[in-house]
Amino acid sequence: MPDTSTYPYVLRAEQRVAAAPAAVWAVLADFGNVHRWSPTVAASRLTSTATTGPGCSRACDVRGLGRIEETVTEWTDGRGFAYVATPLGPLGASRNRWTVAAVPGGSVVEVELAYRVRYGVLGRALHALVMRRKLARLMPAVLAQLAGHVEGAPAVRAA
C-alpha cells in the first residue's frame, strides 16, 4: 500500500491474460520497449546501462502529453516491478507497480498507479472533473493492449 502522504491518489486495475506468466513477464521485463505494446506510448528507450532491476530507466514519449522518465525501484524476476516517474502534465510524480501471477488458464496482471497532482487548487479541480476518470479508463485499456500483444492479437495504435 502506498504512503498516502507521498502519493495521495491511487488507482488499480487488473487483466486476465490467456498466456503463462513467463510469457507476460517476457513482455513486461523488456522495460525499454513498452512502445511495442502500449497504445499511449509513441516511442520508448532505455536511458540506463542496466536493462533490468533497480536503477533501470527509460524515457517514454506519451502521445499528446510529452516525455516522461521512469526509473525502476523494485524488481522481482518473473513476478513484477515498481518504478517512479517524473511529472507529466497535471500528473505529479508517481509510482507504478506491475505484478504478474498465475491463475487457471493463464495469468493475471495487476497495475497500481499512485500519484500526486500538480498545479494546486486548479490541478485538484482538473483531477476531480476529468483526470481521475480518464486515468481510470486508460489503465484497463493499456492492460487489454498488453493482453492482446501477449496473446498474439495485432497491435492497435492510439491515434
pLDDT at 156: 46
Using 50, 70 and 90 to split pLDDT, how confident is the model at 5?
Answer: confident
Q: Can you tell me the mean pLDDT for 17-25? A: 97
Pick the CATH number of 9-151 from 1.10.3720.10, 2.40.30.10, 3.30.530.20, 3.40.50.300: 3.30.530.20
Q: Is residue 154 over pLDDT 60?
A: no
DSSP structural state of residue 159: -
**Each residue of 107-149: pLDDT tens digit?**
999 999 999 999 999 999 999 999 999 999 999 999 999 999 9
**Listed residue (3, 17, 52) closest to 32, CA to CA:** 52
pLDDT at 158: 43
Q: Is residue 1 over pLDDT 70?
A: no
What is the Cα 154 distance to its own chain's centre?
A: 20
pLDDT at 153: 56
pTM score, two decimals? 0.90
Q: Which three cell numbers stand for residue 3?
A: 504512503
More confident residue, 8 or 155: 8
**Each residue of 54-91: pLDDT tens digit?**
999 999 999 988 999 999 999 999 999 999 999 998 89
* CB-based burial label for 77 (10 Å; 0-12, 13-18, 19+): exposed
* 19 residue type, one letter: A
More confident residue, 14 or 153: 14
pLDDT at 111: 98
pLDDT at 25: 97
- Supply φ then ψ for residue 123, to 5 degrees: -65, -40
Q: Can you tell me the mean pLDDT for 26-50? A: 96
Any idea where the domains of the chain sit in the sequence?
9-151
d(CA 27, CA 47): 18
